[in-house]
């Protein structure tokens, strides 16, 4: 997230964005196919994170017991993102999330 300057550089949402980027990239590597591609954009109001991979497996929120390691990435996405979704691609998919800079 170093590439963003100006008012966004020290905004508290950057830590949340870094966590979600890490989770989405990890999911793409572990459950997707091919090298992941990440895009981060900002329109002055929303920070959008999008991670694409070539796998057809769709992400899902799992009910994971606290005793198991892992499995919390999509739960974090659900709780921390303003909204998120999946765009089917050929091949693969793009999982995206938006964070509000105004909050």
Residue 103 vs residue 101, higher pLDDT: 101
Residue 13 vs residue 1, higher pLDDT: 13
pLDDT tier for residue 99 given thresholds of 50, 70 and 90: very high
Q: What is the crossing angle of helices 73-80 and 13-31, to 10°?
A: 150
Q: For 15-60, how does the pLDDT look when each residue is reduced to its tens digit (9 = 90+)?
A: 899 999 999 999 999 989 999 999 999 888 899 999 999 998 887 7
Looking at every residue in the chain, the average pLDDT score rounds to 84
How far is the C-alpha of 83 from the C-alpha of 66, rounded, in Å? 25
């Amino acid at each position: 997230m170093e590439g963003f300057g100006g008012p966004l550089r020290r905004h508290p949402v950057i830590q949340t964005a870094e966590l979600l980027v890490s989770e989405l990239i990890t999911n793409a590597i572990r459950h997707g196919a091919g090298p992941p591609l990440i895009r981060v954009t900002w329109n002055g109001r929303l920070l959008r994170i999008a991670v694409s991979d070539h796998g057809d497996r769709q992400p899902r929120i799992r009910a994971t017991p606290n005793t198991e390691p892992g499995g919390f990435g999509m739960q974090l996405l659900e709780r921390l993102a303003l909204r998120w979704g999946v765009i089917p691609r050929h091949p693969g998919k793009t999982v995206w999330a938006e964070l509000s800079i105004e909050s």
